[in-house]
Structure 1
């Protein structure tokens, strides 16, 4: 009995030693998990990107605006005296010269009043001359001589007034232009100030456009401008007006470009594209595909510095062309991430493969 118990104890002790040796010789699960990241951490490589070394170039900085043409000047030609229209000598759409007759107002009794004014003037002249002769002989007082002088001056003024009134029965063009509208017909009675015609001067055109508050400081009076119209015509002009107050609704500023219109081929009210050359500027021509946004919503690109660390640089558009976008705000020479920029973050170290552009 004692021998079998002793044998059982020896067997149990041997099994216990065997099991114990298994725990000591093999690492546990926790130990394996801790050692795995350490082993793998030493083999992680920075993300790979492709980089192109870019050099800045000169590009013409062009500003494009949309505008609408307006005549150099336009006026409603009014009647300057009362009367009935008896003749119209200019049709709608006619080209007229400065001083050309447009319409005639009935002269009425003006010729009779003219003859009366002439007769009165002759009488006043005779009275003044007689008074002057008597005054020289001290037979006429100075007061009487002054009175006859005043009556003579009044007669002269009356005669000039009726002559002017007769001239005003002719409605004349104040400048060379196009008769855009005619508001009267033969037989209409006109009062002083009543509009008879609308006249446009299209020898020069004004094109009005709106410019943003960001760009208005870069535009100068006298700056050359190119105008392009929807039918393909082109005119050369210059900036002749820049508003000093912005539109309260849009915060934009009105500018005017004036251009010669020698053959009157461009009409008022046409849409025009205004092209302003603001001079050359240094910039980089890039594909829109490399643009990205930072956390603040700014548009820019990602570059690498000397330590292969990613940096974000905001950019601004200088010009757009079919070959790409010209952007400003970058250094003269820059190493731009062209492939993989969407997978890396600012401040991150990267592995680069460089190309030259």
Structure 2
């Protein structure tokens, strides 16, 4: 075969092989950094949101306390003596001034009779001495002695009368008398308890609140409370404030008064108390899950043009589930209430309703 023909055939084969390779080789992929394709953006993060509108807020403080009688006293004798009569029935109501117990007064009455006779004789001597003094038949000193004797006996008689009144133990106020601890014939000494007497038409409730509420506490604030064993809810108002803070507990002691016409409230009972401090007609309340607390400031996120925007806020009244925003939030703004720990300003968000059955992806537990 001629040499020139061989060379031509080799060139033709090389051209054919090149064309075949070009047709079968896959086209190169477009570079992700090609100028024709812009930078990719992360998808919007689903979040729970809530529109914040002004709403009435009643600031409440919860506490526990003890019910006390409006008036309460332990009935005791001021003098020693033997009980001769018990004039009350346990557990009944007595009127003010009613005689409850009588002590033996025979000895005192005898002393009073003797003193009365001695006083009459002393007055007669004083009158004779006065006439003699006018006639210069006696000295001024003798007359003064007779006059002093009259005055001493008068004082002794009044003392005996006062001791006689103490042999009758009377009710100092109207109320319900409790169980008695004496019997007829008992020898009473001062300090021995006969029974207790309590006025229960109105009762008092003593309870404490934190010292941080001091500047908002005043008399007349309404109080509601319940007590175990009674289904009713009772209402009253603060009537007195202890003028000092308890240094041990840092609390302020308050006293409320409550009407008790049916006698359902008994002294010593436990009370669960709700104290209404302040009524705010246009408070901005956000869920506590929306707030991101910090060392010196609190932050929450609002939705602006589909993106999260951080707001530094000042808080006020806190309830079980909500907290008042005093500064940093405007009425009508939409607050992000889930996933705030992972939130940052500028992040695209997709608002979701809480009624959705599926929680937003990546938002975490919306209730925390």
| TM bracket, shorter-chain basis | 0.7 to 0.9
Q: How far did 1:117 drift?
A: 0.8
- Matched with 1:274 is 273
Q: Decide whether aligned partners of structure 1 residues 170 and 299 sit closer, same or farther in structure 2, where only a CA change above 3 A counts.
A: farther
Distance 1:62 1:84 in 2: 55
Q: Decide whether aligned partners of structure 1 residues 44 and 353 sit closer, same or farther in structure 2, where only a CA change above 3 A counts.
A: closer
Q: How far did 1:153 drift?
A: 0.9
Distance 1:123 1:295 in 2: 94
Q: What's the CA shift string for 1:69-111, capped at 9, x where partnerless?
A: 0111222222122211122122332221111111111123222
Q: How far did 1:257 drift?
A: 0.5
- Matched with 2:322 is 325
Scaled by the length of structure 1, the TM-score of the pair is 0.77
Q: What's the CA shift string for 1:102-143, capped at 9, x where partnerless?
A: 111112322221210110110111011111112222323222
Scaled by the length of structure 2, the TM-score of the pair is 0.75
Give the SS at the match of 1:55: coil
- Matched with 1:208 is 206
Which of 84, 87, 90 is the equivalent residue of 1:89? 87
Distance 2:222 2:51 in 1: 36
Distance 1:38 1:192 in 2: 107
- Matched with 1:199 is 197
Q: Decide whether aligned partners of structure 1 residues 49 and 177 sit closer, same or farther in structure 2, where only a CA change above 3 A counts.
A: same
Which of 217, 224, 227 is the equivalent residue of 1:226? 224
Give the SS at the match of 2:243: coil
- Structure 1 gaps of 5+ residues are 1-31
- Matched with 2:54 is 56
Q: How far did 1:284 drift?
A: 3.1
Give the SS at the match of 2:106: coil
For 1:278-317, what aligned pairs fall within 5 Å after superposition? 278-281=277-280, 282-288=282-288, 290-296=289-295, 301-304=300-303, 308-313=308-313, 315-317=315-317
For 1:61-140, what aligned pairs fall within 5 Å after superposition? 61-140=59-138
Distance 2:188 2:339 in 1: 79
Q: How far did 1:212 drift?
A: 0.9
Contact 1:303 1:313 in 2 (8 A): no
Distance 1:267 1:167 in 2: 32
Distance 1:53 1:38 in 2: 42
In the alignment, structure 1 residue 349 sits paired with structure 2 residue 338:
no
Contact 2:45 2:349 in 1 (8 A): yes
Q: Decide whether aligned partners of structure 1 residues 165 and 308 sit closer, same or farther in structure 2, where only a CA change above 3 A counts.
A: closer
Contact 2:88 2:100 in 1 (8 A): yes
- Structure 2 gaps of 5+ residues are 1-30, 354-368
- Matched with 1:337 is 336
Q: Decide whether aligned partners of structure 1 residues 37 and 109 sit closer, same or farther in structure 2, where only a CA change above 3 A counts.
A: farther
- Matched with 1:43 is 40
Q: Decide whether aligned partners of structure 1 residues 316 and 268 sit closer, same or farther in structure 2, where only a CA change above 3 A counts.
A: same
Contact 1:310 1:350 in 2 (8 A): no
- Aligned alpha-carbon RMSD (Å): 3.2
- The count of aligned residue pairs is 318
Q: Decide whether aligned partners of structure 1 residues 83 and 294 sit closer, same or farther in structure 2, where only a CA change above 3 A counts.
A: closer
Distance 1:168 1:102 in 2: 12
Distance 1:39 1:137 in 2: 146
Contact 1:59 1:326 in 2 (8 A): no
Contact 2:297 2:312 in 1 (8 A): no
Q: Decide whether aligned partners of structure 1 residues 37 and 79 sit closer, same or farther in structure 2, where only a CA change above 3 A counts.
A: farther
Contact 1:63 1:277 in 2 (8 A): yes
- Matched with 2:28 is none
Q: How far did 1:258 drift?
A: 1.2
